[in-house]
A and B are shown apart, each in its own frame.
Chain A
Amino acid sequence: MQRQVNAVDFWRGYALVAIFINHIPQNFYEHLTHKNFSLSDSAELFVFLAGWSLRHVVGRPDDPRPTPDLLFRLFGRAITLYVAQMAIALLAIAMLAAAALVLVNPLFLEWHNAAAIFYDPVRAHIGLVLLSHQLGYFNILPLYVVLLTIAPFVAIVHRYAPNILLPISVAIYLVSLVFGITVPTWPVDGQWFFNPLCWQLIFVLGFSMSRDRGAGGWVKRNIRWLRFIAAPIVIGLSLMGWFNLWWDPTKVPEPRLLFIIGKTFVTPIRLIQFMALIALMSAAYPYIVKVVPSLVEFLSRLGRNSLPVFCVGSVLSLAGQIVRFAYGGGLLVDTLLVGSGIVALSLVAWMAEWRSRKD
């Protein structure tokens, strides 16, 4: 049974399109996505809505899904995501190799952290499977795999002790920030671009906000005046970004991660801006439905089929980068790339729904 058009699917569809566009850097349309006016970007939105969608699996408070069934489904979903990540990583590696051969340019073999795959394959393939080696722009799904792996614990804690879920999540987040704890990569020295110890908070916030009790219920009851607070936060931080009025990160007190702006640790300022943005987005949705219902229908379809759309979008954005390099950028090429890409994403979503109807 296909879900009705709703705000969550709509915004998730928007996030998918924005991620696709942003992952073709320097293309004309990249300058139009909301990351240009906002501290946070589509990655936060995507993870938050993933957490929100967890409520569909957990079930209603008056009719919860049986715990064994819940655990089975969530672990199953995590495995599906893991397999999807392996598939698109393999495709990306093949595309980079093909580009290097066809365009006679070995730089492609080193692009987006692929060098280890081609020059240190023994260890890099182990790293790929362990998710400790990630290709650039292919690092959201590994985070999502981790989040869905912890999702059963999130769901269980919420079921039996709902009031401690958010405090636990905030505590992990703060400990990670205060002590700079992160997840290392291997075999290439480094750290996960999306630190799961911090990004789990956005996922848990998404889940908590989706509920009618606890923090989610409080936010829903007070959303009107919360939006009055959110608006100046979003506008003020956008203006600060626009005019580059940020404070010097070396001048802030310790622990510095609490005061600086960073994506890897989704630092508090970025997190607060994102939550404020979410409050405003939730207000905008009813108006968007009235003004452009066809757009809502279109993006909701993408959002309903987020995994295949995300996977195809990731591969197409890499293809877009290669094509851009081979043929040069410019408005015409960028329009063709982005336009054909979005049409392809739409086809993928349509095919996924057509298949599920047939089944």
Chain B
Amino acid sequence: MAVAEGLVKSMRTTALVACLLMCWNASEPAIAQQPPPGQPATGASQSTLQRMCSEGAEIGFGQAQLPNSARVLRERKQLRVLAMGATPLNVRDQTQGHYALVEKMIESSIKGVDVDIIDRGVSGELARDGAERIKTEVALVNPDLVFWQVGVADALALTPAGDLKLTLTRTIVWLKEHNVDIVLIGLRYQRSLAGNEGFQRIRKVIRDVVREQGILRIGHYESIEALDRVRRQQGEPTSELDLTDAGSNCLADFLSRALAVGLFAKPKPRDPFEKPPGGALPGAPPPSPPSSKDPGK
């Protein structure tokens, strides 16, 4: 019964997120998406959801850019992307693949660009196995950019943090040596795992590697965590399934925005992983900084 209720709630939130995303109006200048006319956001919680999707990609940007991809775009207006890791599910529109949606969003964000995403993801694959395959797939696909969704399988398999860090670092260095940019898609927020030591250790490793290597990360953990906090403060606690749906629905937006900003935005003066001044994310109540739950720090 509880499951059924959860699923119903989940579907309700999915519909809500889908509706909101339809009318999402990005404020970033680099992103040219326009909301469909006549579909304004309604209600405080809807606005919050909308904000979370549009802000999520910003959280992990850092000062990193995509130099190789930017050069390729200037030269031939085509971008070839290799997607590794678990294939994110497109809950919003199941008539097309997730990456087909991302392709469309990027192409509509950046005029005149042809984006081709080749999905070679294997769900449940550990980083160590994915790292080996990335080299092979780079040789076969010849991409300009790699999306790598990494960490979940390692968190569930209890991969030692040191091993994961070494694997990620070596792979990123190898990709840089081969003039391939990378965007890491890190862990998803799960309330039940917010205090899980192993899960948070893996999350910290990914953040550390991103910072050390100066690459892009999709910070949807922080976005969905903020969404969860806001909803609870508003007296509308969100179920884990709802949060999962929100994460799935927002990921395409995060990716397309990350790409657009990584290609064109100027470096930001501060490290976005650090606690923002005043402790607030734009448009969200004061979050606890990532380190507050991070036993590894």
Give the contacting residue for B123; candidates A110, A120, A249, A256; CB below 8 A.
Answer: A110
- What's the nearest-Cβ distance from chain A to residue B161, in Å? 12
Please tell me if the beta carbons of A250 and B178 are within 8 angstroms of each other in the complex: yes
Which residues, 69 to 100 on B, are CB-close (under 8 Å) to A?
Answer: 86-87, 89, 91, 94, 97-100
Stretch of A111-119, A197-205, A226-234 that contacts chain B: A111-119
Whether, in the assembled complex, B3 has its beta carbon less than 8 Å from a beta carbon of chain A, the answer is yes
Give the contacting residue for B122; candidates A107, A193, A321; CB below 8 A.
Answer: A193
- What's the nearest-Cβ distance from chain B to residue A33, in Å? 14
Whether, in the assembled complex, B124 has its beta carbon less than 8 Å from a beta carbon of chain A, the answer is yes
Please tell me if the beta carbons of A250 and B138 are within 8 angstroms of each other in the complex: yes
Whether, in the assembled complex, A324 has its beta carbon less than 8 Å from a beta carbon of chain B, the answer is yes
Interface string of B138-177 (1 = CB under 8 A from A): 1110000000000011011111000000000000000000
List, in ascending order, chain A residues with CB within 8 A of B275's CB.
none
Please tell me if the beta carbons of A136 and B190 are within 8 angstroms of each other in the complex: no
List, in ascending order, chain A residues with CB within 8 A of B240's CB.
104-106
- What's the nearest-Cβ distance from chain B to residue A32, in Å? 17
Whether, in the assembled complex, A261 has its beta carbon less than 8 Å from a beta carbon of chain B, the answer is yes
Stretch of A184-192, A295-303, A345-353 that contacts chain B: A184-192
- What's the nearest-Cβ distance from chain A to residue B186, in Å? 13
Which residues, 106 to 149 on A, are CB-close (under 8 Å) to B?
Answer: 106-116, 119-120, 123, 136-137
Give the contacting residue for B158; candidates A26, A116, A119, A248; CB below 8 A.
Answer: A26
Least CB separation from A263: chain B residue: B133
User: When chains A and B are docked, how far (Å) is the Cα of A113 from the Cα of B149?
Assistant: 13
Please tell me if the beta carbons of A120 and B157 are within 8 angstroms of each other in the complex: no
Whether, in the assembled complex, B193 has its beta carbon less than 8 Å from a beta carbon of chain A, the answer is yes
List, in ascending order, chain A residues with CB within 8 A of B244's CB.
106, 109-110
Q: Which of B124, B138, B155 has the most CB of A within 10 A?
A: B124
User: When chains A and B are docked, how far (Å) is the Cα of A26 from the Cα of B178?
Assistant: 30
Please tell me if the beta carbons of A321 and B156 are within 8 angstroms of each other in the complex: yes
Please tell me if the beta carbons of A190 and B156 are within 8 angstroms of each other in the complex: no
List, in ascending order, chain A residues with CB within 8 A of B241's CB.
106
- What's the nearest-Cβ distance from chain A to residue B168, in Å? 16
User: When chains A and B are docked, how far (Å) is the Cα of A325 from the Cα of B241?
Assistant: 20
User: When chains A and B are docked, how far (Å) is the Cα of A101 from the Cα of B135?
Assistant: 37
Please tell me if the beta carbons of B140 and A111 are within 8 angstroms of each other in the complex: no
List, in ascending order, chain B residues with CB within 8 A of A260's CB.
136, 139-140
Interface string of B97-114 (1 = CB under 8 A from A): 111100000000000000
Please tell me if the beta carbons of B3 and A249 are within 8 angstroms of each other in the complex: no
List, in ascending order, chain B residues with CB within 8 A of A119's CB.
89, 91, 245, 248
- What's the nearest-Cβ distance from chain A to residue B47, in Å? 25
Give the contacting residue for A111; candidates B89, B123, B159, B243; CB below 8 A.
Answer: B123
- What's the nearest-Cβ distance from chain A to residue B243, in Å? 8
List, in ascending order, chain A residues with CB within 8 A of B136's CB.
249, 260-262
Please tell me if the beta carbons of A325 and B156 are within 8 angstroms of each other in the complex: yes
Please tell me if the beta carbons of B120 and A115 are within 8 angstroms of each other in the complex: no
Whether, in the assembled complex, B64 has its beta carbon less than 8 Å from a beta carbon of chain A, the answer is no
- What's the nearest-Cβ distance from chain A to residue B7, in Å? 9
A107 with B120, Cβ < 8 A, contacts A26-B159, A120-B94 known? no
- What's the nearest-Cβ distance from chain A to residue B189, in Å? 10
List, in ascending order, chain A residues with CB within 8 A of B100's CB.
189
A25 with B94, Cβ < 8 A, contacts A105-B190, A136-B125, A249-B135 known? no
Please tell me if the beta carbons of B126 and A25 are within 8 angstroms of each other in the complex: yes
Which residues, 64 to 122 on A, are CB-close (under 8 Å) to B?
Answer: 101, 103-116, 119-120
Whether, in the assembled complex, A329 has its beta carbon less than 8 Å from a beta carbon of chain B, the answer is yes
- What's the nearest-Cβ distance from chain B to residue A138, in Å? 10
Whether, in the assembled complex, A257 has its beta carbon less than 8 Å from a beta carbon of chain B, the answer is yes
Least CB separation from B99: chain A residue: A189
Please tell me if the beta carbons of B123 and A106 are within 8 angstroms of each other in the complex: no
Give the contacting residue for A101; candidates B3, B155, B157; CB below 8 A.
Answer: B3
A107 with B157, Cβ < 8 A, contacts A136-B125, A191-B120, A193-B122 known? no
- What's the nearest-Cβ distance from chain A to residue B165, in Å? 15
User: When chains A and B are docked, how far (Å) is the Cα of A249 from the Cα of B100?
Assistant: 28
User: When chains A and B are docked, how far (Å) is the Cα of A41 from the Cα of B241?
Assistant: 38
Please tell me if the beta carbons of B158 and A325 are within 8 angstroms of each other in the complex: yes
Whether, in the assembled complex, B257 has its beta carbon less than 8 Å from a beta carbon of chain A, the answer is no
- What's the nearest-Cβ distance from chain A to residue B6, in Å? 9
- What's the nearest-Cβ distance from chain B to residue A42, in Å? 15
Interface string of B246-272 (1 = CB under 8 A from A): 001000000000000000000000000
Whether, in the assembled complex, A252 has its beta carbon less than 8 Å from a beta carbon of chain B, the answer is yes
- What's the nearest-Cβ distance from chain A to residue B262, in Å? 23
A-B contact pairs, 5 of them (CB 8 A): A105-B193, A106-B241, A106-B244, A107-B152, A111-B156
Known contacts A115-B86, A248-B135, A262-B133; 20 further A-B pairs (Cβ under 8 A)? A25-B157, A104-B240, A106-B241, A106-B244, A111-B152, A112-B124, A113-B123, A115-B87, A119-B91, A119-B245, A120-B89, A187-B97, A188-B89, A190-B87, A190-B119, A190-B121, A249-B136, A249-B139, A324-B158, A325-B158
4 closest cross-chain pairs (CB), A and B? A136-B124, A249-B139, A113-B123, A112-B124
